Each structure stands twice: as structure tokens, then as C-alpha cells.
Amino acid sequence: MCGIAGIIHRDGSADIGAELTAMLQSMKHRGPDSTGYAMYGQPDDLVVVRFMLAEPNNMGGFGMDEKLERNRAEVEARLAKIGADLATIQSESGGYAFRATVRYGGDLKPLADYLEDIDGCEVLSLGNSLEIVKDLGDAETVHEQYQLGSLKGTHGIGHVRMATESDVDLASAHPYWAYPFADVSVVHNGQLTNYHVWRRRLERMGHRFQSECDSEIIAVYLAQQLENGLSLETAMKHSLDDFDGVFTYLVATGSELGVAKDEMAAKPLVLMETDDLVVMASEEMAIRALMGREVESRDPFEREVLTWQV
Amino acid sequence: MAGMNTKSGVVYDARGLVEPDPEPPMTAEIDGDSAVIDATDLTTRKINLELKRIVYDEGVNNVTIVNPGSKHSLGVGILKRCNITFEGSPGWYACGLIDGPEVQINGRVGWSLGENMMSGSVVVEGPAGSLTGAALRGGDLVIKGNVGARTGIDQKGGTIIALGSAGINTGFMMQRGRQIICGDVNDGLGDSMYDGVIYVGGKIASLGVDCVPGEMTDEDHEFINRKFDIYDLGTPPELQKFECGKVLHNYDALEPSERKLVL
């Protein structure tokens, strides 16, 4: 059991960090292990790199501070070497997660691969507007730790996780960035039973996996479909036939947000749609936590794929 | 509260289980035979404790719960005839295990409305989530909007009426009782049903295993008209009847006593 939430403002920017926190905190009972956000702000020329250098579970070990310092210097050196001009870099509280902005016009895959070659480094997200923030604990804990109150954006998706198939750690936390595609992210509630088949298939195509979590498949699968030239909606429709198991997942790009439900409608989703605002969540109480009143909502049926433009 | 006793400071409920938070909040406003509970600042547990106090201990017959806020498991396990009104939407598992109450919900509900309900009625003005009337044993569920997937899964009695459409596997493994779905139904209608009847007004995406069309009789029309009259639902649409083909499950191999167990 996990909880997912998504929100799109079609009339401009809003306090997307605070809004997602309100929704995710109300669904804490669906997953207290970790909380994650994928938020989309105003795109600019700079590429936002969110990365981590260690698991929070491993912090405080012998020589860890020195190792983090060394690896951070290595990240900066490698960014310079590959031609990514560092504009800003800051460490989040906790010391293992970082946000950097770089001037970079090249291909994202070599950049991600080069950074992840550093021991313990995982690129959480890359893109012109995507910011993925995830950590252990409930939504308010993560909100405070990463100071999400100041984060503005047009749309975003979020996830509260109850770990069932893999570890309670940052690598297994959602959302997943669709490596190596800029600004594509996924959150998922459910279990995929043909995970190993698809993982082997995608690895042979050259994709990388950071975790043992079945949900990572969806992000990488969609990335591969986009690379093949399919639209997001078509790729999502194909996923209904390609994935076995039960799932409701949300996917976001710089300009779109979509939802797909499996053919048994085994995982919940409630949807509220107005001209300016589209909000969806695993449970209605999350939508109410945002709106603060009774709302008109509906439950999409099985095999529904819906997408919205920002 | 009734059924509770204390032993060395620990409070046990009627089942002998430790009850960590047994005190109702005493916040309801009671006016003669009616009462209003404002659920805004109360937890699920406190709302249900207060509801039980009013219905059982105070003997009030008309209770209104305002601001239910989509909280789960509201109004469950009420085993007495009374009228309960929700002004707003409860969440999942609303009115499960009830035996007697007549419930009016002026809003929508989440998953598993009226799970294992024994008798009484629940009328929902909006849509309902999946698993509506799961293991329903008696009474009527009336949903004026759409219902989700697996409506009346394992239904063992009672009636489910949906004025809207229904999702996949409606009436899955249904064993007795009736469903009236006025809108369309998705794939797998009545899949693996043992018995019971499903009436459908709209399009049927596909029938499930061992679900077959039946013939409408005068009794069917009388039943549908009677239910529509009771709940003031207007004129029923043209309905098709579906029932069990009785080839999937091999009842006749069972002894009568075993057969009773199955049902």
C-alpha cells in the first residue's frame, strides 16, 4: 500500500511544495516509510541536478564526512570536465542530498553516468524544471528538511511509501526520474509481477537501475518508449498491456501530467477536475486536505489513461 | 459504555480486548430525538464512540454527522434501528457491518460501502468507489452516481442499486441477492457468480465466466418497481437480466449440509 497524489495548475504557478505536503501528510496512514516529491517550476536555461552521495541510513559512519566532502569535490570536478558550467550548488540539511544548477547543452545520459560512477552517488533528477526531493519519514518531516514551502511550480506529483517489495531507503523511494530523459518522473502505487522480465529487457537496451524497487521499471520503460518516438499518452496505453500486476501510476513531464490504471482497477484513485485545477490522489481525504471543503470527484475506471497539458 | 469492564485500571471491550481510548467525546448536540455530531476535530474512533453513545445510551433515533471529511470507517457496526445522515462525504468502509440503520449520505463515498451489512439501507447521493456492498448480506444500498470495480463482490443477499455505471467484474462471485445497474457495465459482469440476479440498463462490455442472460418475469418487474418506489428513483429504465449459468460450480456433488456452508 502506498499513497500517490498529483496536482496541475492550469492558470499559472502556485505553492506546489506546500500543496503536495498537505495532500501527502493526510495520506500518511498509507505509507509512513518515505515521502517523495517531483515538482515542476518555471523552466529556464539552467539544468537542475538533484543528487545524493550517501543513503541517510549510512550517515554517521567512520570517515563519512570526509568521504562526502571528497565526493562532492569530485562531482564538481566531473561537472567541469564534461563541460557543465556550475552555477550554484547547495547541500540540503542532512548533508547527503544536493541541488546544483549547471549550464549544459549536451546529452544528459553521459552526464548522469559520469556522476553516478562516483561511489555512492545517485542522480535523483535532471531537467530544466524538474525537482525531485525524497527522503525517509512523513511529508512534514521531508517538507521541513528540504524547505519546500518556498517552492513554486505549475504541477507536481508525490508519493508516500509503505515498503513491501524492497528496502526502506532513499534509493527505493519514489518518485523515480525516467533516466536519462529530462523532466520525466513517475510515482506508483501497486506491484508489478513481471518486474524481472522487464528489468532484464531494459538493461539489455542500456538503461540503468538504482534500486530493487519494481516501480523504477515504469519510469525507465516510459523513457524507452519516449525514446522510440511515442507520445506520453500512447506510451502509457502500451504499458497497460506490457505490465502485469496491479498499479495506478502518475507520470509528469515538463508540460504534461498523466495517470494510468491497470485492467483490474485494483488500486484506488480519486480525481477532481476543474478548468483551472486538476487534483488526484489515492484517497479523497487528500484532495480535501488541499481544498478544505466538499468537492465533486470521480474514480476513474480500469484501463483508463488520462493526460493533461499544463 | 455498555459491554465494557475494568480490571486493574485497564479497560476491556465486550470482546475482552484492551480498549485504549474508551471515552466518547460528549460533544454532540442533542435536541429531543435528534442529535448532531460535528466530526471536524474528531478521529474516526471518537466519531464512532460518540455515535454509539447517542444511539445506544441516549436512545436518540435521528443522528446527523456533519463534516465527515472523507474519514474512513464511519458509522460502522451500528446494530439498532435508527436514522443516520451524513452531511458530506465519508471515506472508505462507511457503514460496514450495520444491522438496522437507515442511512442517508449527502455526498460521495470511497471504497467498500456497506461491507458485510446485515439489514437497513444506505442511500448515497453521489458516486461510490470500488467494492461497494462487498459481502453484503441484507438491506439495500442505493448509489445515485457511478460505482467502481467489483461492486457486490461476494454478495450474499440484499440489493444494490446504482443509477450510474459500474466498473469491471460487477457481481464477482456473487452468491445471492440482486443488483440493479442502470448505466453501463464494464468487462466481466457476474464473473463466477453462484446465484443471484443482476439487472443492467446500459451497455455490457462483456459477460464474465458462467454469467448468462435470463428472462425477465413479472416478479422481476414487480421487485424493480417496488425498490424504485421506496427510494423515489423515478421510472426504472429498460433492464436486461443476468444470472448464473450453473455450469462452473458443481453444487450437486455437495451434501446438503456442505451446500449450506458454501452459501
Q: Where are the domains of chain A?
A: 3-43+129-309, 44-128
Mean residue pLDDT across chain A = 94
A213: annotated active-site residue: no
B89 lies within 8 A of chain A by CB: yes
Query: What average pLDDT does range A250-275 have in this prediction?
Result: 96
Per-residue pLDDT averaged across B67-81, rounded? 96
The one-letter code for the residue type at A263 is E
**pLDDT score of A188 more than 70:** yes
Residue B2, pLDDT > 50, answer no
Greatest CA separation found in chain B?
A: 64
What is the DSSP pairing of strand B156-162 with strand B176-181?
Answer: parallel
For residue B12, name the pLDDT band (cuts at 50, 70, 90).
Answer: confident
Residues from chain A contacting residue B39 (CB–CB below 8 Å)? none
Task: Taking residues B104-122, report their average pLDDT.
Answer: 97
What is the residue-wise DSSP string for A226-278? HHTT--HHHHHHHHHHH--EEEEEEEE-SSEEEEEE-TT--S--EEEE-SSEE
Q: Which residues of B touch A264 (CB under 8 A)?
A: 149, 168-169
Chain A contact set for B150 (CB, 8 A): 265
Chain A residues 271-310 within an 8 A CB cutoff of chain B: 283-285, 288, 294, 296-299, 301-302
Q: What is the pLDDT of residue A166?
A: 79
Average pLDDT score over residue span A233-249: 96
Confidence label for B263 from pLDDT (cuts 50, 70 and 90) = low
pLDDT higher than threshold 60 for residue A38: yes
ipTM of the complex, rounded to two decimals: 0.91
- Could you read off the pLDDT of A140-186 as tens digits, one per residue? 999 999 999 999 999 999 999 998 877 899 988 999 998 888 999 99
pLDDT at B1: 44
In percent, how much of chain A has pLDDT > 90? 85
Question: Distance between CA atoms of A59 and A13, rounded to whole angstroms?
Answer: 36
CATH number for the domain formed by residue range(s) A3-43+129-309: 3.60.20.10
> B38 to chain A nearest CA, in Å?
14
For testing contact with chain A, the best of B40, B44, B70 (most A CBs within 10 A): B70
Catalytic option among A2, A68, A139, A251: A2
pLDDT digit string, tens, across residues B38-66: 999 999 999 999 999 999 999 999 999 99
C-alpha radius of gyration, chain B, whole number: 20
Other CB atoms within a 10 A radius of the CB of residue B209 amount to 12
Q: Is the pLDDT of residue A45 over 60?
A: yes
Tell me how many degrees the CA angle A266-A272-A278 measures, rounded to the nearest 5: 110
pLDDT above 90: percentage of residues in chain B = 84
Residue B3 pLDDT level (bands cut at 50, 70, 90): very low
- Chain A partners within 8 Å of B108 (Cβ): 284, 297
- Predicted pLDDT of residue B261: 62
Contact yes or no for A285 and B169 at CB 8 A: no
Indicate the residue of B69, B111, B187 with minimum beta-carbon distance to A268: B111
Alpha carbon distance A190, A122 (integer Å): 24
Q: Does B70 touch chain A (CB under 8 A)?
A: yes
Q: Is B157 on the interface with A (CB under 8 A)?
A: no
Other Cβ atoms closer than 10 A to B67: 16
Q: Span A44-128: which CATH code?
A: 3.30.70.60
| pLDDT tens per residue, range B214-226 | 999 999 999 999 9
| Chain B interface, best mutation among A26, A301, A303, A304, by max B CB count within 10 A | A301
**What amino acid is encoded at B251 in this protein?**
Y
Q: Which of A31-40, A204-213, B89-98 has the lowest mean pLDDT?
A: A204-213
With cell 448509489, the residue in question is B143
Residue B262 has what pLDDT?
A: 57
DSSP string, B112-168: -TTTT--EEEEEESS---SSTTTT--SSEEEESS---SSTTTT-EEEEEEESS-B-T
List the grid coordinates of A114: 559520469
- pLDDT value, residue B87: 98
Per-residue pLDDT of A73-83, as tens digits, reads: 999 999 999 99
- Rounded Cα distance between A51 and A65, Å, is 17
Task: Report the pLDDT value the prediction gives residue A167, as an integer from 0 to 100.
Answer: 85
Cβ-Cβ contacts under 8 Å, B92 against chain A = 283
Q: Give the model's pLDDT for residue A211.
A: 83
* pLDDT tens digit sequence for A115-137: 999 999 999 999 999 999 999 99
Query: The C-alpha cell of B115 is what?
Result: 461491507
